[in-house]
Structure formats: structure tokens, C-alpha cells
Structure 1
Amino acid sequence: MQYPMFKAALAASVALALSLSVTAHAQSTSGSNGFATRINASAVTGNATYNRFIVRYNASVPTTAVAATQSASAAMSRATKLQASLSSNAPAVSYKRTLATGAHLITTSRKLNASEAAAFMQSIASDPTVAYVQPDVMRHAIGIKAPASFTPNDNYFAKYQTDYLPGDGTATAAGNKVANWGGANVTGAWDLADGTGITIAVIDTGIVKHADIDASLGDAGYDFISDGFVSGRSTDGRVSGGWDLGDWTTGAPYDSGANACVNQGQGQGSSWHGSHVASASGAEITNNSIGMAGIAYKAKVLPVRALGHCGGYDSDIADAIVWASGGHVDGVADNQHPAQVINMSLGGDGTCTADDATAQAIAKARAKGTTVVVAAGNDGADVKSHSPASCPGVITVASTGVGSGLSFYSNYNAPGESIVKLAAFGGGVYPNEASSGTQLNPEGFAWQAVNNSSTSPAASPGGDTYGGMAGTSQATPHVTGAVALMQSARLAANMPLLTPDEVLAVLQKTARTPHTTPNSNKTFGAGILDAGAAVAEAVKGGGTTPPTDNATVLQNGVALTGQKGDAGSETFYKIDVPANARALVIRTAGGTGDVSLYVKAGAAPTATAFDASSIHAGNAESVTVAKVAAATTYYLRVVGVQAYTGVSVQATYTPASQ
């Protein structure tokens, strides 16, 4: 095969990628009526404009499209009294649609500046029937382009995919022959699993046709971009098929005109980011003597397009999450290939709370057993100001390089945080993960299949090529692919699939200590992904059950307050319930962070054996047993999805005599 022409970009692409994910400044919009907690304005920045807003009403208040429009129009009228520029030029308010989470998408006839948007949201939140309001902001692909046991025979594997090898310090066989401390040990996992039986959904720019990409679910995927300007289609609306139509921002209307999203002359050609990410997680055809390899190479990859020209809106991304996991979205045919794991290598400004539309969608996906893996972001900053990386319930992934240090661009945990759960190879760009120097090529980048066109995709095979990228976008599919391998191994062993919390616990338990000592002010969770160890642990069941006498005893109706734990921690409780007791309710509530609850009668719940569970964003978890026939000890397992504190644990039942 002719040596492919690798895409080139470097210094300029580094600057572009870092500019796309601007540092978030989490701020609340407060009002005299005490409704600040119902507004998330953390993504609102002084130099941006907004004409889309997501509004969620209280569940007890049935809200039609007409009622939501009237309510938002009334809010705009009130806002004119708060903001002079709105008074002199008040925009009309329109209704777009209902999201899969039940929230409503409202638009304005002109874009509002930051002060106007804040006044409008404050006015919306002053309505007591409103539960939450947020701007519908753009998210972006996160990546930096590079210049041009079982071991697959793909002809570029040995030189370009050293990130799949064990991170044991062995020198790379080709290229710069540097010590490889950052490898994900995918080759070790391949001895145990190949992804068979698992579906991976990649929510990104879509996928292209390529001789080395399995795009067999391309037509089964979906394009969730509802705005024609962003999708590149001639009209608004969603369409079937997860195909990448290109996301270039060169030329009108993207770098000139009223809706331009980049400065003139600063646009970029199509990234083919979704194909790169999908290829890494599993879509790149493996052991075919061509090109490179994918991680969970016998899994099926479902492309879901939510990013296009200029990025993608939260409202579209939230619906894509629900649909990809098997949930229903109005106006869209149900997904016939529900995913066991979702990859989101995207993000942008703002802190994500449990009430955000994206977090609500993630909670729906988790309730269906779908693990959601998310990029930490490329701001080189505290991850708490990046969304969806800071959403509850996701596995947030930082990037390390071949030397095992934190990549210079990667977001991280500040002291006391545990938002980033672990790291994986995403590319360090320069030796020793420095922020400058001579670019380390190919070992400084992750390499996969892409297209060679700068606008619409060139047809295969003429458009087929391979490209290197670096970013937390590239770290994330390493973890996603490992999750697919873990679940595939369990299917092969006739074991039930791991829950999202159990997946996280296994990944963190088996993560490798980095060779380079992390900066204590910029940490990245449990360590570096070791796919081989994770798959082996997953088949073992993800841990052992502690002795039941270690469980904390609960008394009927008495809340045990002030409970706390780290991300990935397990704490056990128990309560003795007499025969014929009724209405046993076991719950957690309050505090900060995120927990999940598992319950089993007669024995402590394990990672794979439990009678009931409650898995939602936040700490409000509850399991109910209508009647307990025989005297039984019920055991509780509280798992820290995120680090948590101030949580109460309580079990209440009604004795037979009452």
C-alpha cells in the first residue's frame, strides 16, 4: 500500500484547539428573591452572545409549548425593566422544542449580550413554576492535530500506536525510540477480550466512509444537529444517519457575516474529529494488514452527530445522550442499537450541576446502565469550570503523554477535587509533556483514520488517510474502548454487565501509578489507564465483599448524618427488619457530591450481586420494599460516584403491629 499523506497542521492547530475551549468562570446570577440556585450562568462570558435558553419547569406544573412561550414572553417583558438595552430593543421570544429530559428550548429573535442574557434568565427564574434555566451554549471538539500477545498486522501499528502498548518504560520500536511510560496496555487487554457484543456510541462530528473504518452503523446513527447553520444543511431539522458532513469554519458564513463564529481568516478546515475518536474506541478495522488498529475492535460503533460548523448546542447533545442510551426523543425514531458506553470528546465553558440539561440526560443514560466517558478539556485549567466534564455521574478523563506526565494542555483536579477520575494517553506533543520544544512525532500524538478533505468529505478510497491528534479528546476513547473490552469480557464469561459505578471502581482500582510524579496542585485521579488490568479485574467481579460485621448498623427511622467518602469508595450499612414489616424505605439524601445506592437482603451487595439499586445524579437515592415476609437483615452499599460529604443514610419501616 502506498504510504499515506498524513495531515499537517501543528503550531497553528495547537493555538486553535486551546482557543476553542476557553477557560470557564463559574458565576451565579443572583436576585433579591433568592432564586440564584435555579440559574446556571457559569457559561456566560462577556464577549459572547446568546439567543437559546433551556428552561425546566417544576414537575408538578404541566407545561405546554404555548404555556412555555407565554411564560418566557412575560419574562422578557419583566427583563426590559432590568436591562436598558432590552427596553429599547426587546426581542421576540419563540418556542423550539421539548428536550428528551422534559426541559423546553426557548429562542430570542436576536442574540443577547451577557448582561441581557443574565437579566432574561433572572426574570425567567423569578417565576415560581420554573425549576431551572440555563443558556444553550456551544460545545466543541477537543483536539490538537499533529503533522503528517495478540499483535495486529496493521502496517502502521508498530510505528504509530505505541499508546496501545504497556507503559513499562520499554523504548518505542520506531520514531524517536523514547521510553514508553504512558501506554494504556491495550495489547494486554486483547488477550482477554475484543469488544464482541458491545455497542459504543460516539457523540461527536459523525463518521466518514474509509477503507479502514467499520462504519456499518453509519446509517443507524443519527444527526441531532437541529440548526441548519451548524449542520451545514439547507434547512433546520434533524436527519437519520451519523455521517460527518464536515465542520469547516473557513469562508462565509462562518468567518464573516452576522453569525460568524470565528474571526475572518482564522477559520479551520474540517477536523474529522468524530472519525478519529470513533476509530480509536473501536471502529478502526483491526488485523486487516491495513493502516492502524482500534481498541475494542469487534464492538459496534454507533456514530451520533451533535457537533458541526462552529460546535454543537447543549440541547442537541442532551437529546443525543438520551437517544444513544436507548431512551426516547420526540420526533426521532428510537435507537435500535442502545449503547453500553458513550464517548463524549467535547466540551466548553461552565460548571455542570445536577440540574443542567446535560446532567439530566446523563442521569437517564446511567439509569439504563450506560457508562458515560467524557474528556476533561484542553484549557490547562481546573476541570470544575468545564462542561460536561464536571457533570455528576460521568467518568472524566485527563490526558497524559508517553512519559506519563500530565499533558500541558489537559485540565486537572485542583487540590481537594476528584472530578477527573483517571488519565489515559492523549498525546504529550513535546518531550516530557513540556509546553514547548521540539515536537515529538509520532509518539507525542494519537494516530487514527481520518479524511483528507478540508471541507466536505472526499469519497473513499481517494479521501482515505490517517492523522495524529493530541488532546483529552484522544485520551477519552482509550477509556471508552477499555470499558467496552471490560463489558465484552463479562459477556463472554456469562457474567452480568457492570453498572456505571462498578465500571468506574474497576478502572480506578487498576489504574497505574504514573512514572512521573504528578504536581500536587494538578492531579488526575487514580492514575493512568491500564486496559489489560481493568479487563482482568472486571472478569473477577471488580472486588471482594467485606465481612458483613464491618457494616454500620442503622436504627429504624434514624438518619445517620454527616457521611462522607472519596470517589470510587464503598461504605456498607445494615438494618435488621422484623417479619411482616411494611414499607421499608432505604435512602440517601443531602450533602454534596454524588453517590449511588445498592441494597441486598441477607448479604452485603457486591459489584455484581444486589437486589435493587438507585442511580441518579446527586445524592437523592431511594429503594423501597413493599413487605418483608421473614425477619431479614438488609445491607446497603453506598458508592461514591464523586467524592461526597454531609450525606445522610436512613432506613425506615413500619412494624407489623402498627
Structure 2
Amino acid sequence: MAAATAAALLGTGVTTVLAASGPDRAGTPGASVAKAVPAERIIVGYTARADEAKSNAEADKDVRAKAERVGERLDFDRRLGTGAALVDLGDKLDSKDVKDVMGAFAADPDVAYVVPDSRMYAAADPDDSLYSQQWDLFESRAGMKVPGAWAKGVTGAGVNVSVIDTGYVAHSDLAANVVSGYDFISDPWMAQDGGGRDSSAADPGDWMNRGECGTDANGQPVPARDTNNSWHGTHVAGTVAATGNNAKGVTGIAHKAKIQPVRVLGKCGGTTADIIDAITWSSGGTVRGVANNPYPADVINMSLGGGGACDAGTQSAIDAAVGRGTTVVVAAGNSNANAANFNPASCKNVIAVAASDREGNRASYSNYGSVVDITAPGGETSPSAANGILSTLNSGTRGVGSENYVRYQGTSMAAPHIAGLAALMYQARAGITPAQVESAVKSNARPLAGSCSGGCGAGLADATATLTALGS
């Protein structure tokens, strides 16, 4: 949204949009429509045979026809990387009006799916603040047994990992492994860097004031209190590929892999449409108006999510990325709830990661359930901060400060452990497929040393066992 639009929206106290619930039928075989929620845009996926799938002019014509039918002001905004159309709803509509608009599209036999352009958020809880302190890599009880994998000569060299997150704030313990990325935040107000989409994935910070992002379903302000910068993407990137053997700081699991920061999360989170384009571009797909990615990802990490089951638009982007050979790793979520009700954790063709604590239990905050594929260390900073996941960060609270290292907890911290492991696997076996990566990670996991209620997937990931099974 433009800054003026954002100000108007926040002034109304409209509920922040979260990810849509799962698809249901809307009178048309083959078309799916996600649960309608207050929204400013919707994503319309046309069938391959439809003229609207190939021509922006035809898509615009169709949008205008639907607008006349439902009596609302609708505009064709742009084409997403998957080919879907982003449709602007004009004025903020309530759930009933959104349902009517989405129903008009879903009733069209040329429409495969229609979903809201929803908000997603970083899935981690920052806390207080080198290798000896990285218990998550080497401790026998609940660590991921990474040193045994390194002993086989794999460090992630030659592998590209895209971190779709808040972007990257400069850090000397990461700089050697960072390649140019992209900022996909289309709303300048949310981007908080003075503009919309551009070729700089630099993270200016994601601080927010109380109530700046509207209200939740209970009418409470979002956020509930003032927040400072999280530097979330930089923390995630450090777990994957902080520089190893440089006599400073921490080491990443795949400490010779290349990290590409791709920015989708800013003030008040990020939108489905921007995330879809980021997935597409990161994996080597084409996004209109953006130069092709010179470093297409072998692995994508998305430590983000929102409420509701996987929507068809996000699933389409993930399926296409996997089809290009990219493994997609996502956080299960931090709500101590069934991950089936969270997006993109519930999407197919992803590796959904729950979090364990230092004792090998499912972390108290971690989501669980049948859609969880694997568990990895996510830490738990209470009662001791030493039990969190230590990684690269920055001291700036409302601007960029000095580089530092901080312990965080969350499934956001667990997911990059698996992304790092996947990067080791891509180096170890040329031509490995995303399905083979997932299968190997799951079949070589070990039982959690502690307890897990609700389902923690195949168990705790074991890097040494996984790389051994690949014959490294």
C-alpha cells in the first residue's frame, strides 16, 4: 500500500490480514477460493487455456467485467511470477464484500483459484544477548551433529541459498558469503527504505509502534507494544552460512555456501503477492520488471508465516520452484498449535520444520502436527538465554547500529538448520532433487531425546547420519 493508503487504513483499525484458510469449492469444478478476509488485493490464478493467463489486456478486461458485476471498484495491478493476476480491490472491503468479489472470479470456469493477498510475519521471538556456544551444532543430546558432516569434506561450497526474509544488514561474519539479492516489498511504507521494489536487499529495520499495523481479530492493537528492529533475516542467514574458520564469531552450518538475501518482510510483515514473486525469482523463475536472478537458489529458506492453511497462489509458486530443482524449507510456526493451520507450513512440497530445545524436547512455542516433516534446534531462551540459538545480528533498535551476536529462539531458527543441511547435501551429491533431500533428511533423523506431544515429524535432524547415507 502507498504511504497515504497505509495511514488511512491504520486510522480505521482494520484487522491486519493473515494468510487465507484452505480452499473450498465455489460452484466451479477446478476452481478454488480461499476463505474471504478483509483485504486490499486478491490473487487470481487463471487456467492455462484462458486468454487472461496470457494477456494483461484480457486480464484487465476480465477484472473490469467482474467489477461491474459485483458493484465494486477493482483494478488489474500486475502479473505475478507464477502468471497469476494481482487484483486491487480499491477501497478496503469487509469479509462479505471480499467474498462476493472472490466468488465472482471463482465461478468463472477460466479461473483455477482465487486467494487474498495476505500478510505473513517473521516466525521467531528475539531475546537477550561463539563456536563453543553453538550447542545446536554439536551437543550430543539435542545438537544436529554437524561436525561429523564437515569431517566428510562438505561445507556448502558452490551452493546457493536464498533467505526470503527481512533482508540483510551488513555483518563482517557473513559478508564473504553474501551475494546480491533483491527487495520485493512493493509497498514503500512497509519497505521503510524510501521506496518500493529495487535491487538492494539491505535491511533498514522493521521497527513498529503500538497499533501501527491495525488491530487483531479481538480488536487489540497490532503490534501490542512498540517493537525494535529484529534483523531477523541476518540472524537466519548466519545459521545457514556465517563464515567458518575466520577466527571470529559463529560458524554457519554450510559456511562456504552463498547466501542471497531476498527481502519480503518489513514494517507490519509482508504480503502473499510479494512472497510469491520472491519464491519465483529466487528459484530462477521470471518476474516481470525484474532482471533474472544471477544466483538461482538450490535451497530457499522461509522463516515466516501467517494463519490459515496453504493458499493456492503460494502453493503454485512453491510447486514451480521445486520443479526447477529448488528445495523449499519453511518454519512450522511459533503458536504451540497445529501447523496444518499455518501458511506456508502446511503447503505441499516443502520441508516444514518444528523446533526443539536444548534438552531435546519440542520447544514449548513450536507448532506441531502431521504436516511437520522434521525437527531441528530452535532453542528456548527461558530460563537461560544460553539455551537460545546464537547468530549474527545488529545492535540498532530504530536504525542500523553496530554488528553483534544475539541468541534467538523460534522455528525461524530451526528452519535454517535444515536449509544449511540441505546445502551440504547439494554439494555432496550433484543433481540431487528436492524430494531426495527431504527423504534423506527424514529417513536419517533420530528420535528426540526428550518429549514431543502433537507430532514432530521424523524426529531430530542428524547431519552426520544424513551425509553418511549419501555416501559422502
Q: Same fold (TM over 0.5)?
A: yes
* Contact 1:21–1:348 (Cα < 8 Å) also in 2: no
Query: Using a 3 Å threshold, how does the CA distance of structure 1 residues 27 and 217 change in structure 2: closer, same or farther?
Result: closer
Separation in 2 of the partners of 1:239 and 1:207? 14
Name the SS of the counterpart of 1:240 in structure 2. coil
* Count of paired positions: 452
Query: Using a 3 Å threshold, how does the CA distance of structure 1 residues 255 and 215 change in structure 2: closer, same or farther?
Result: farther
* Cα deviation, residue 476, structure 1: 0.3
1:427 to 346, 354, 379: 379
Name the SS of the counterpart of 1:239 in structure 2. coil
Query: Using a 3 Å threshold, how does the CA distance of structure 1 residues 298 and 30 change in structure 2: closer, same or farther?
Result: closer
Which residue does 2:333 correspond to in 1? 377
Separation in 2 of the partners of 1:134 and 1:299? 35
- The answer to whether structure 1 residue 268 and structure 2 residue 221 are counterparts is no
1:39 to 33, 37, 47: 33
Which residue does 2:384 correspond to in 1? 440
* Contact 1:255–1:265 (Cα < 8 Å) also in 2: no
- The answer to whether structure 1 residue 455 and structure 2 residue 389 are counterparts is no
* Cα deviation, residue 68, structure 1: 2.2
Residues 615-634 of structure 1 aligned to structure 2 (within 5 Å): none
* Cα deviation, residue 255, structure 1: 6.9
Separation in 2 of the partners of 1:326 and 1:373? 16
Which residue does 2:44 correspond to in 1? 55
1:247 to 206, 228, 232: 206
Separation in 2 of the partners of 1:199 and 1:372? 12
Task: Return the letter of the residue paired with 2:190.
Answer: V
* Cα deviation, residue 28, structure 1: 5.4
- The answer to whether structure 1 residue 473 and structure 2 residue 412 are counterparts is yes
Separation in 2 of the partners of 1:324 and 1:467? 27
Separation in 1 of the partners of 2:252 and 2:355? 18
1:189 to 116, 136, 149: 149
Which residue does 1:223 correspond to in 2? 183
- The answer to whether structure 1 residue 162 and structure 2 residue 162 are counterparts is no
Which residue does 2:5 correspond to in 1? none
Task: Return the letter of the residue paired with 2:323.
Answer: A
Separation in 1 of the partners of 2:17 and 2:462? 28
Deviations 1:113-149 (A, max 9, x none): 222212211122122221210000011111011222x
Separation in 2 of the partners of 1:111 and 1:465? 41
Deviations 1:251-275 (A, max 9, x none): 796579xxx9954772311110000
Deviations 1:148-194 (A, max 9, x none): 2xxxxxxx221x3111114x3xxxxxxxxxxxx21111122121211
* Cα deviation, residue 318, structure 1: 1.1
Separation in 2 of the partners of 1:228 and 1:489? 41
Query: Using a 3 Å threshold, how does the CA distance of structure 1 residues 21 and 375 change in structure 2: closer, same or farther?
Result: farther
* Contact 1:21–1:379 (Cα < 8 Å) also in 2: no
* Contact 1:35–1:125 (Cα < 8 Å) also in 2: no
Which residue does 2:436 correspond to in 1? 502
Deviations 1:502-526 (A, max 9, x none): 111110111011112432xx01111
Deviations 1:394-438 (A, max 9, x none): 01111111111111111111xxx3x211100001334xxxxxxxx
Deviations 1:66-93 (A, max 9, x none): 332332333334335xxxxxxxxx4x21
Which residue does 1:119 correspond to in 2? 100
* Contact 1:79–1:123 (Cα < 8 Å) also in 2: yes
User: Quick check: which has more Rg, 1 or 2?
Assistant: 1
TM norm structure 1 = 0.65
Which residue does 2:175 correspond to in 1? 214
* Cα deviation, residue 214, structure 1: 2.2
- The answer to whether structure 1 residue 66 and structure 2 residue 25 are counterparts is no
Name the SS of the counterpart of 1:420 in structure 2. coil
Which residue does 2:6 correspond to in 1? none
Which residue does 1:327 correspond to in 2? 285
- The answer to whether structure 1 residue 352 and structure 2 residue 325 are counterparts is no
* Contact 2:282–2:293 (Cα < 8 Å) also in 1: yes
Separation in 2 of the partners of 1:307 and 1:263? 16
* Cα deviation, residue 197, structure 1: 1.0
* Contact 2:131–2:251 (Cα < 8 Å) also in 1: yes
* Contact 1:69–1:93 (Cα < 8 Å) also in 2: no
Query: Using a 3 Å threshold, how does the CA distance of structure 1 residues 202 and 264 change in structure 2: closer, same or farther?
Result: closer
Separation in 2 of the partners of 1:331 and 1:21? 26
Separation in 2 of the partners of 1:116 and 1:215? 50
Task: Return the letter of the residue paired with 2:434.
Answer: P
* Cα deviation, residue 238, structure 1: 1.3
Name the SS of the counterpart of 2:421 in structure 1. helix
Task: Return the letter of the residue paired with 1:117.
Answer: V
Query: Using a 3 Å threshold, how does the CA distance of structure 1 residues 25 and 246 change in structure 2: closer, same or farther?
Result: closer
Which residue does 1:617 correspond to in 2? none
* Contact 2:30–2:112 (Cα < 8 Å) also in 1: no
- CA-atom RMSD in angstroms: 2.5
Name the SS of the counterpart of 1:66 in structure 2. helix
Query: Using a 3 Å threshold, how does the CA distance of structure 1 residues 328 and 221 change in structure 2: closer, same or farther?
Result: same
Separation in 2 of the partners of 1:205 and 1:264? 17
Name whichever structure is richer in helix by fraction: 2
Name the SS of the counterpart of 1:270 in structure 2. coil
Separation in 2 of the partners of 1:325 and 1:274? 18
Separation in 2 of the partners of 1:422 and 1:120? 39
Which residue does 1:362 correspond to in 2? 318
Which residue does 1:436 correspond to in 2? none
Name the SS of the counterpart of 1:516 in structure 2. coil
* Cα deviation, residue 216, structure 1: 5.2
Which residue does 1:286 correspond to in 2? 244
Task: Return the letter of the residue paired with 1:211.
Answer: S
* Contact 1:207–1:215 (Cα < 8 Å) also in 2: no
Query: Using a 3 Å threshold, how does the CA distance of structure 1 residues 163 and 27 change in structure 2: closer, same or farther?
Result: closer
Larger relative contact order (CA 8 Å, sep ≥ 6): 2
1:97 to 73, 78, 81: 78
Which residue does 1:592 correspond to in 2? none
Name the SS of the counterpart of 2:164 in structure 1. strand
* Cα deviation, residue 369, structure 1: 1.1
- The answer to whether structure 1 residue 79 and structure 2 residue 38 are counterparts is no
Separation in 2 of the partners of 1:396 and 1:420? 5
* Contact 2:376–2:418 (Cα < 8 Å) also in 1: yes
Query: Using a 3 Å threshold, how does the CA distance of structure 1 residues 506 and 486 change in structure 2: closer, same or farther?
Result: same
Separation in 2 of the partners of 1:446 and 1:94? 45
Query: Using a 3 Å threshold, how does the CA distance of structure 1 residues 213 and 386 change in structure 2: closer, same or farther?
Result: same
* Contact 1:249–1:268 (Cα < 8 Å) also in 2: yes
Name the SS of the counterpart of 2:175 in structure 1. coil
Which residue does 1:631 correspond to in 2? none
Identity among equivalent positions (%) equals 37
Name the SS of the counterpart of 1:442 in structure 2. helix
Alignment gaps of 5+ in structure 2: 1-14
* Contact 2:212–2:222 (Cα < 8 Å) also in 1: no
Query: Using a 3 Å threshold, how does the CA distance of structure 1 residues 264 and 423 change in structure 2: closer, same or farther?
Result: closer
